[in-house]
A and B are shown apart, each in its own frame.
Chain A
Amino acid sequence: MQKFEAIDYYDIGQHLTEEEIMVRNSVREFVEDQVIPVIEKHYQAGTFPMELVSKIGELGVFGLTLPAKYGCAEMNNVAYGLVMQELERGDSGVRSFASVQSGLVMYPIHTFGSDAQKENWLPKLAAGGKIGCFGLTEPDFGSNPGGMITRAEKVDGGYLINGAKMWITNGTIADVAVVWAKLDGVVKGFLVEKEFKGFEAPEMKGKHSLRASITSELIFQDVFVPEENILPNSGGLKSPLMCLNQARYGIAWGVVGSMMACFDTALKYANSRVQFSKPISAYQLTQQKFAYMVTEITKSQLLNLQLAKLKDQGKVKHTQISLAKRNNCEMALNIARMSREILGANGILDEYPVMRHAANLESVKTYEGTHEMHTLILGEDITGIPAYDN
C-alpha cells in the first residue's frame, strides 16, 4: 500500500511550532507502524487493542497537557489536538481511549481532586499502567444528564453509591471510574475503584460501530466509597460538563484524522482505478467529491487551530467547542460516505479503512453531545433563548 499523505491544502502547518510538528510526526509514525497493521483485525473481532495501551503511555500521550511533576509532557492544546487527529487517523476507538483517559479521567482528577488523589493516580494513568473511565450518562439520561438518578448517600467513613451508568468507554477494563452521582441533590464526582464491592462493569455487545473500543455499563449496588475518594473540588453539573468540553475539543480534532484517512484512500484509489477509458478521478462526478472533501477538511483544520489558540489563551467558550465538534463530525461522516462511494464495492472491504471510519463516525457524531444538542447549544448562544427545558 502507498504511504499515507496528509492533506494540508492551506499550508496550515506553517502555524505550528517545531515541537508541535515533531509531536504530530511522532504520533503519525506510531499510528502507521503500531495501530494500522492491527486495527482491522481487532475491529472485526470486536476487541480493543490492549497491547497498545502501555506503548501509547510510553509515547506520552495520556494527559499530555498536565504538569510534568505527574509524569506528563506539559504541552499545549495544539499538540493535544494534533495527537488526537493522528490517533483517529488510525481509528476512532483508539482516539476515544486516549480522549477518555486524558480528558475525562486525568483532567477531572487534576481539576477537582485532592493532592493525594493526583499524586496517586495521575502518574499511573499517564504511563498507561492504570486505565480510567468516566460515568455520567445513564440509560434514561443522555442529553439531559442533570436528571441522573445515581445517588450517593453519606455514611460513616464515606459514601454509598446506588445507580447505573451506560455507554461508558473503557468501563470493563478500567481500574478506576470517575463516577458522577447526586449527593443531597448536588452532582459530585467519586473515584470508584474496580475492586469495590457491589460495583460491576459488564461490556455492552452487539455494536456495529466503534468495534475496536470497549463500551460498558456501570452498575452500583450499595457500593461503599471511602471519604478520600470523593473529588473534593467538584460540585454541580458544571463539573462533568467541564470534562465534556475537553473530550469534545479532542473529538473536533480527532475526526479530522478520519477525514484525512478517508480522503487519502479515496484519492489514491480514484487515481488508479480505471473504468471505461480513464481513471475514475478524471470524471467530473468524482472531482466534485474531492473538491468538497478538500474544502471541508481545510475548513475543519482552520477551525481547530483557532479553537486551540483560544483554549491556550484561556478564552474559549464551550459554545465554540460545540461549533467545531458539530461541524467536524458531520463533515467527517459526509467525507467517509463519499469516500466509500468512490471506492464502490471495494469501499465495504476491510482492505480499506473507509467503511470502518464511516461506521465509527456514526457514534462520534452522537457521543459527547449529539449533533442535535450542539445545534441547540449554538441556537441558545446565538438567540439567547434555550430551545430545551433548563
Chain B
Amino acid sequence: MKIAVCVSHVPDTAAKINIASDGKSIDQNGVTYVVNPYDEIAIEEALKTKEAFEGETVAISVGPESNKDSIKKALAMGIDSGVLLKHEGFIDSLGVARALADEIKTLDAKLVFFGKQSVDYDNSIVGQLTSELIGYNCVSVVVDFKLDGEKIICEREIEGGREIVETTLPAVITAQKGLNEPRYASLKGIMAAKKKTIEEKDAAAGENVVEVIKMKKPPVKQPGRILGEDATVVPELVKLLKEEAKVI
C-alpha cells in the first residue's frame, strides 16, 4: 500500500515575526522555517504504519523550492521519497488541497496523513478539503490510530473527552499531539536521505478563492501594575477588575 504524508513548511514557532512592507505577508528576514510540528506527528504515524504493514511512503509538499527542506527532513526521518508541487506566492487552503488531491490520485495512495493544522495560517482545513476532493473518508484530530485490513479505528479529541470512530480505507487522517512521539532524524537517516529522490512538478492549484487583504500584529500587551502588597488594596483591585479589566 502506498501511504502519503503531506508536509507544510512553516516559520519556526520561536521566530520573531514581522509584517513585510506590502502589509499582507510576513517579512522573511531572519525567519527560519521548519516542518510543521503536527506534520512531524503525521510523518511518524506514516512510518509506524509502514513498519507494521509494509508499504511505501511518500512525502508531498506544496510551495516554493525551499519547501524541499521539510521534505528532506521527512526523508531523513525515514519516508521513502518526496514530491514537491511547486508554487510561488500566496496560495489558499483550497489551492493546496487541489494540488495535493491531484497528486494523491496520481500516486494512488490509499492512506494519507496530515497534521491537524499548520502553525502558520492555522486554517485547520487542508486535510478535510483534500479528502472531499478525492472522495476519501476523513477522520480529524486523531490521537490514536489502528489499521486492521481495510478497517480503521481512531480515537479523536472532542470537547471534554474522546470519541472512538470507525471508517475504512481509502482515508485521510489528520494528526493531533499525543498520537505518537515523532522520532529524531538519525545521522544514518540523514545520510540515507541523500540517496532518496524528490520529484518536482507544478502544483495544480487552480485559482485562489481567498485573498489576504491585510496582516496586523496583535495589540501590544500592557505591562502589569502592582497596587500594593497587603490586604488593604483588595477593594481597589476588585474595583479595577470590574471597571477597568471588566473580568468580574
Give the shortest distance, in Å, between A244 (CB) and chain B (any CB): 24
Give the shortest distance, in Å, between B30 (CB) and chain A (any CB): 11
C-beta contact mask, B148-191 vs A, less than 8 Å → 1, else 0? 00000000000000000000000000000000000011111111
Q: Does B104 contact A (CB under 8 A)?
A: no
Residue count of chain B within 8 Å CB distance of chain A: 14
Q: Which of B13, B73, B76, B191 contacts A74 (CB 8 A)?
A: B191
Q: Does B194 contact A (CB under 8 A)?
A: yes
Q: Does A352 contact B (CB under 8 A)?
A: no
A23 to B190, CA, bound (A): 7
Contact A22 B76 (CB under 8 A): yes
A267 to B26, CA, bound (A): 26
A29 to B188, CA, bound (A): 16
| A18 surroundings in chain B (CB, below 8 A) | 72
Q: Does B14 contact A (CB under 8 A)?
A: yes
Contact A59 B191 (CB under 8 A): no
Most interface-central of B73, B76, B188, B189 (chain A CB within 10 A): B188
| B72 surroundings in chain A (CB, below 8 A) | 18, 22
Contact A22 B186 (CB under 8 A): no
Contact A75 B191 (CB under 8 A): yes
| A5 surroundings in chain B (CB, below 8 A) | 14
Q: Does A355 contact B (CB under 8 A)?
A: no
C-beta contact mask, B1-45 vs A, less than 8 Å → 1, else 0? 000000000000110000000000000000000000000000000
Q: Which of B186, B190, B194 contacts A58 (CB 8 A)?
A: B186
Known A-B contacts A18-B72, A22-B72, A22-B73; the reply to A75 vs B14 at CB < 8 A is no
Identity of the chain B residue whose Cβ is nearest the Cβ of A126 in the assembled complex? B188
| A378 surroundings in chain B (CB, below 8 A) | none
A29 to B189, CA, bound (A): 15
Q: Which of B13, B14, B191 contacts A19 (CB 8 A)?
A: B191
Contact A60 B14 (CB under 8 A): no
| A74 surroundings in chain B (CB, below 8 A) | 191
Contact B187 A73 (CB under 8 A): yes
Interface of A is mostly: helix
| B190 surroundings in chain A (CB, below 8 A) | 19, 22-23, 26, 73
Identity of the chain B residue whose Cβ is nearest the Cβ of A73 in the assembled complex? B187
Contact B187 A29 (CB under 8 A): no
Q: Does A69 contact B (CB under 8 A)?
A: no
List CB contacts (< 8 Å) of A60-78 with chain B.
Answer: 60-61, 64, 68, 72-75
A60 to B186, CA, bound (A): 6
Q: Which of B13, B76, B184, B188 contacts A30 (CB 8 A)?
A: B184
Give the shortest distance, in Å, between A277 (CB) and chain B (any CB): 14
Give the shortest distance, in Å, between B204 (CB) and chain A (any CB): 28
| B189 surroundings in chain A (CB, below 8 A) | 60
Q: Does A79 contact B (CB under 8 A)?
A: yes
Q: Does A3 contact B (CB under 8 A)?
A: yes
A109 to B18, CA, bound (A): 53
List CB contacts (< 8 Å) of A1-34 with chain B.
Answer: 2-3, 5, 18-19, 22-23, 26, 29-30
Identity of the chain B residue whose Cβ is nearest the Cβ of A22 in the assembled complex? B190
Q: Which of B13, B14, B184 contacts A26 (CB 8 A)?
A: B184
Identity of the chain A residue whose Cβ is nearest the Cβ of B191 in the assembled complex? A73
Identity of the chain A residue whose Cβ is nearest the Cβ of B14 in the assembled complex? A3
Contact A59 B14 (CB under 8 A): no
Give the shortest distance, in Å, between B54 (CB) and chain A (any CB): 22
A3 to B185, CA, bound (A): 20
A60 to B185, CA, bound (A): 9
A262 to B185, CA, bound (A): 27
A259 to B14, CA, bound (A): 21
Contact A22 B14 (CB under 8 A): no
| B194 surroundings in chain A (CB, below 8 A) | 19
| A61 surroundings in chain B (CB, below 8 A) | 187
Identity of the chain B residue whose Cβ is nearest the Cβ of A17 in the assembled complex? B194
C-beta contact mask, A18-58 vs B, less than 8 Å → 1, else 0? 11001100100110000000000000000000000000001
| B73 surroundings in chain A (CB, below 8 A) | 22
Give the shortest distance, in Å, between A174 (CB) and chain B (any CB): 23
Contact A75 B184 (CB under 8 A): no
Give the shortest distance, in Å, between A384 (CB) and chain B (any CB): 41
A226 to B191, CA, bound (A): 38
Give the shortest distance, in Å, between A61 (CB) and chain B (any CB): 7
Identity of the chain B residue whose Cβ is nearest the Cβ of A83 in the assembled complex? B187
List CB contacts (< 8 Å) of B36-77 with chain A.
Answer: 72-73, 76
Give the shortest distance, in Å, between B198 (CB) and chain A (any CB): 12
A29 to B76, CA, bound (A): 14
List CB contacts (< 8 Å) of A69-101 with chain B.
Answer: 72-75, 79, 83
**Chain B residues near A (Cβ < 8 Å):** 13-14, 72-73, 76, 184-191, 194
- A–B Cβ pairs within 8 angstroms, 16 of them: A3-B14, A5-B14, A22-B72, A22-B73, A26-B190, A58-B186, A59-B187, A60-B187, A60-B189, A61-B187, A64-B187, A68-B188, A68-B191, A73-B186, A74-B191, A75-B187
**Chain A residues near B (Cβ < 8 Å):** 2-3, 5, 18-19, 22-23, 26, 29-30, 58-61, 64, 68, 72-75, 79, 83
